[in-house]
Amino acid sequence: MTTAVDFNPLSPEFQQQPYPHYRQARDETPVRFIEALNAWGIFRYEDCAYTFKHPELFSARDFITNAFGEFDPVPEVPSIIALDPPDHTRLRKIANVAFTPRVIRGMQDQIDKVISDLLDEAQAKGEFDFVSDFAAYVPVSVTAEILGVDAVLGRGDFKRWTMDLIKAPSRMALPEAELAQMKKSVEELRAYFIDQIAYRRKNPGNDLISALIQAEEENQSLTETEILSLAALIQFGGSETPSHLIGTSMWELFEQPETRARVQADPSLVGEVVDETLRHQSPVHFVFQTATQDIEMHDETIPADSLVFSFIGSANRDERMFNDPDTFDIDRKGKNKHMGFARGAHYCIGDMLGKIMCGSAIRQALERMPNLHPVSPEQEWMPSFWIRGPKEMRVAP
């Protein structure tokens, strides 16, 4: 078995610059055991695609246990993200109703308005942090809208709960005080949604929680805890990743002034920027799976019940799939083949919504502040090996 003495995703150096480590793993140990995580890693595009195509071998069943452990906000039922087909299919069909292209396109004006208001606030500060003063609030405000939560009342809390929950995969390395704060956030999030569900039972609206309650009442067998679990996952999935996509897309344009000039001259290119960012700097770097039996891959045997990480952040830089993969190139052919939203049954339900949010944020920021520039040339990334985005990005208009 290959060991991974120098492959440590918990190390700060790795988290700042994972790509050289991924490249080495793709070339030398495309399937390897990672001691620091007590898990197996899969690094090549084709191999990650294989895991998504075969849920009978690579099950999602332990996603929540692995990702959140004791910080699972709804431990009573398996979350949609931890179900395999066919159980997954039933829940996903109901949730899909809230994410059809027609519903999402219908939100464009609302999204533009939320973003415009947030830019008013950020711009009023003069110099500001593009991440914490702006990007972080875009998805929480939009997701709160979908869930039917008061955006202004909800967004500060939403952000805090989400920031605490994404620390859960690193929980073995965190101090007691931080763990206690995370526990508190999880309890608050849960209590908040229990109240919201009770409220929407009495006051149905045009929102996802009401839609989920209605599905239950029409005897489509969604239980109270299933509704709670779905709402909590959408809040989490929808609140975190798009803010990193926004921050990173802007960073990519700061890094490439010629591309930025083209986008400013032709804002319809923003969609290309978002897609290429999803490939080049995926906000989610791996997906949790469990081997359901002994699995042979690249002369290694992944033992049954092992935790497996499919590193989509590495797959998206695989030179076997993408030419010159480390270069950010909005004209790249086939960039849409990226795995930034995963593949298969769990392919992100909020892909279109996330892309619309990000496109609108970049377009409006550049329109309003054509000379927007970073204050420091150094960029620090978030201390995480799961989620990638700028930690902070101070900018001046």
Residues that bind ligand HEM (CB under 6 A): 63, 80-81, 92, 143, 233-234, 237-238, 241-242, 245, 283-284, 287, 340-342, 346, 348-350, 353-354
For residue 369, the one-letter residue type is M
Residue nearer to ligand HEM on the CB measure, 238 or 390:
238
In whole angstroms, how close is the CB of 371 to ligand HEM at the nearest point? Answer: 27
Residue closer to ligand HEM, measured from CB, 157 or 178? 157
Least distance between ligand HEM and beta carbon 190 (Å): 17
Beta carbon nearer to ligand HEM, 119 or 353: 353
Task: Name the minimum Å distance from CB 233 to ligand HEM.
Answer: 5
* Tokens standing for residue 61: 């069943």
Cβ-proximal residues to 338 (8 Å cutoff; 6+ apart), any chain: 275, 278, 279, 282, 316
Residue 7 or 52 with smaller CB distance to ligand HEM: 52
Distance of CA 166 to the CA centre of its chain: 10
Pick 236 or 377: Cβ nearer ligand HEM: 236
**How many Cα atoms are found within 13 Å in the side-chain-facing hemisphere of 26?**
25
Q: Is 254 exposed, middle or buried (0-12, 13-18, 19+ CB in 10 A)?
A: middle
Q: How far apart are CA 369 and CA 372, in angstroms?
A: 5
Torsion angles phi and psi, residue 354, rounded to 5:
-60, -40
Least distance from C-beta 258 to ligand HEM, angstroms? 25
185 vs 316, which CB is nearer to ligand HEM?
Answer: 316
Query: Which residue type, as a one-letter code, is found at position 143?
Result: T
- We find the least distance from the C-beta atom of residue 140 to ligand HEM, in angstroms, to be 10
Where is 310: in which H helix or E strand? strand 307-310
Does residue 293 sit in helix, strand or coil?
coil
Output the six-digit token pair for 59: 């099950």
Written as six digits, the tokens of 274 are 């978002």
- Answer yes or no: are the C-beta atoms of 337 and 282 closer than 8 Å: no
Rounded to a whole number of angstroms, the minimum distance from the CB of residue 49 to ligand HEM is 13
Q: How far is the CB of 377 from ligand HEM (least distance, A)?
A: 26
Distances (CA, A) of 321 to 169, 235, 265, 271, 314: 29, 33, 31, 21, 11
Which CB, 3 or 137, lies closer to ligand HEM?
Answer: 137
CA distances from residue 4 to 18, 29, 40, 120, 173 in whole angstroms, order as listed:
14, 9, 10, 48, 18
- Give the shortest CB-108-to-ligand HEM separation in angstroms: 14
φ, ψ for residue 347, nearest 5 deg: -45, 135
- Residue 164's identity, in one-letter code, is D
Q: How far is the CB of 137 from ligand HEM (least distance, A)?
A: 14
Half-sphere exposure (CA, 13 Å, Cβ side) for 112? 8
